[in-house]
A and B are shown apart, each in its own frame.
Chain A
Amino acid sequence: MKSAVHTFLRPVLLVLFLLPLMAAAIDIAVTGDWTDLFITANDLTAGPGSNLTGQYESNIDQATIDIVNTAGNSDSWRVDVKRTDTTWGSTAVLAVRRYDSGYGEGSISGGLAYQTVGTTDMSFFSGTGDRTGIRIQLKISNVSLSLSPGNYSSTISYTVVDL
């Protein structure tokens, strides 16, 4: 009987001990899309005979990111970013930057300069502890008249990696 208790109960207790740690997985939330960019003839740099402005920036608070549920201020994480195209202009370049540091007792670093968002994960910024209200600004560049009329869409994925 004692052997059975040792055999079954001890591992179960170990798993139960680990469950609270598993529940502490870091969460990331993003609020805000960018869907109101309409490029028209008004965007020609100098009217007929000229090309498009070519570069468009979103509001500085087009999106906000919250990093929560960390294990504490010393819990390190990294946010990766990538895009998945629905329909995207082959020449258009999508870039993202962290406009500010948000709020929280943890730290945050990197990502303040625009970086191109590719189709594979790349490091965006990193930090420790909970950070909320991190403002994200987006930029679409290299848009010219070579881009046919139409709608272009992509989904940006922000992934928090617990380090």
Chain B
Amino acid sequence: MHCKNIRAFFLLFSFMAIVALAFSAQSANQVVTFSVTAINEIAVSGNPGALVVTAATAGSQPNEAIDNSTTYLISSNGTNMKITGSINAAMPPGVSLKINLAAPTSGSSAGDVSLGIDSTDLVSGTGKVAEAGKTITYKLSATVAAGVVVNAHTTVTLTLTDGN
């Protein structure tokens, strides 16, 4: 009886070996890795037209000159980013240049903001975004004290940066 058990064990083992062989599987691995860098790109469609303050209502400061012919484009995979703005040189005394950026879908605009040589927040809280055609509105104002200013140019720099 004992011998029969041993023989049965060997036969069972052999059968299991055959079954295991029939369904045997071998594996090999391959690693796939990719990296996404921080992408924060902003650009403008072009230069606005000349802003010329020409008219005033009697008894009031001259009327603002307004241009909304340009747009900006933004691509970012960051979160809580912001757009800041600055100009390369201070405006002449009595002259003010304001900018207003339409906010992307994710983000909020600060509205009309006076530009200076120090960066100022224009849009905040932007998330992952790829949008174009966001309107830029410039408003140039001058007080009567500014007098006549001829052919002044300034460069506006928009920067997409971390808002944290």
Give the interface of A toward B (CB within 8 A): 3-4, 7-8, 10-12, 14-15, 18, 21-22, 25-30, 32-35, 37-41, 44, 47-52, 56, 63, 65, 80, 83, 89, 92, 94, 136, 138, 140, 143-162
Contact = CB atoms under 8 A, between A and B. Distances in A.
Contacts of B25: 80, 159-162
With a 10 A CB-CB cut-off, give which of B30, B32, B132 has the most chain A CB atoms: B32
A44 B28 contact: no
Interface residues of B, number: 46
A69 B147 CA distance: 93
Contacts of A65: 28
Interface string B68-104: 0000011111110000000000000000000000000
A33 B31 contact: yes
Interface stretch (B37-45, B114-122, B138-146, B149-157): B37-45
Given A49-B130, A151-B35, A8 B6 contact: yes
Contacts of A143: 34, 36
A28 B27 contact: yes
Contacts of A92: 34
Contacts of A38: 34-35, 37
Contact of B37 (A14, A80, A149, A155): A149
Contacts of A50: 73, 75, 130, 132
